[in-house]
Amino acid sequence: MNGNRGPAGPGPAAPPRRTDSRRPAADAAARRHERERRHPRYWFAERLLLTLSGQRPVHWMLGHTLPPAYDQLAELAPGAPLRPVPPSHGIPFVRHCDEFQPRPGVIEAFARIASGDRLRALAFRLEHCPDRRWRCAAVELGGART
């Protein structure tokens, strides 16, 4: 074999190229956080937070709640109980969210909502409906049921 022939035949050999499409991996905590955010409990916690902080109207949850939960939201939302309180003015966010499944098709979830130095509790129940969609069936805020 002479110097200008590559293993595949005559002609200059192409420089090696990277065929590995992987990117540097995110750290384990970031991957776990992103994986958790895909759960229905986080999706509903975020939507309930936006509704109860006055950032979205109650009817935004209309297709995602069962009638009793929608009525609960309609009673709670006008007061915007999760709205930021001066002087902190911190934008409320879901600090943590977890769930318990008492039986298949039911999730009882809680979320810790942080805003500045204030921390509030939000509890809600999700039910997997016959149309294969999760819907909010009940909402409680700060331990007081409405």
Q: Specify the pLDDT at position 146.
A: 45
For 3, 31, 58, 92, 111, the CA distances from 123, given in Å and listed in that order, are: 73, 25, 17, 16, 6
Domains and CATH numbers, the chain: 28-145 (3.10.450)
Q: Specify the pLDDT at position 144.
A: 46
pLDDT band at residue 20 using 50, 70 and 90 as cut-offs: low
Of 80-84, 120-124, 131-135, which range is least confident? 80-84
Whether the predicted pLDDT of 7 surpasses 60: no
Neighbours of 117 (CB within 10 A): 9
pTM: 0.73
